[in-house]
Amino acid sequence: MRELISMFLTFARVGAFTFGGGYAMLPVLQREVVEKKGWCTEDELTDMYAIGQCTPGVIAVNVATYIGNRKRGPIGALFTTLGIIFPSLVIITMIASFLTHFAEYPAVQHAFSGIRVVVCALVTKTIYTMSRKNVRDIATLLILICSFAAVALFHISPIVAVVVCGVIGFLLHGGKKEAK
């Protein structure tokens, strides 16, 4: 039971102290579950991000559920999922009850403008960190550029992009063992 409570509290901390949704949570998740807890490796977490992006729901919830299930089965998945969503439920309920009265105030609008900029910075940091770790050669750089263009410029579904890039990656590197 102690481990389940630790899992809940770890993911509640991630959920409480990150703003902006899944991608903004990724650096915090990486620090908590890879560096501090050792529940998975950085490569495994990157794989979970990819899987979480391709499945319905919020990426941070998907990753939390996956890690919980991996560590302790369905009960672990329940505790980590509840941990990641609990702070949001509490915070959103509180904000919703007060925000309708204050949303039009310039100070509140300016605060949200600042928060949106910070979220952009967090997402940019995640992109930078993941790119440094995963772009290993010219082929993976081309996959990155082409997949970004496909999704951002040509509005290709991220699911299609992930599947196509997964097949390309397998075809390019599938039979080779990588040096760590």
Compute the distance between CA of residue 161 and CA of residue 103 in angstroms, rounded to an integer: 38
pTM, 2 dp: 0.61
In the chain the first and final C-alpha atoms are separated, in Å, by 35
For the stretch 93-120, pLDDT in tens is 888 887 777 778 888 889 888 988 988 8
CB 80 within 8 A of CB 65: yes
Instruction: Look at residue 20 in the predicted model and tell me its pLDDT.
Output: 65
pLDDT > 60? residue 178: no
- Give the per-residue pLDDT at 175: 63
Question: What's the rounded mean pLDDT across residues 141-147?
Answer: 93
The mean of the pLDDT values for the chain is: 86
Question: What is the reported pLDDT for 3?
Answer: 92
Give the pLDDT band of residue 177 (cuts 50, 70, 90).
low
pLDDT over 70 (residue 21): no
Instruction: State the CB neighbour count (10 A cutoff) for residue 113.
Output: 9
Q: pLDDT (tens digit, 9 = 90+) per residue, 35-66?
A: 999 999 988 988 888 887 777 777 888 889 99
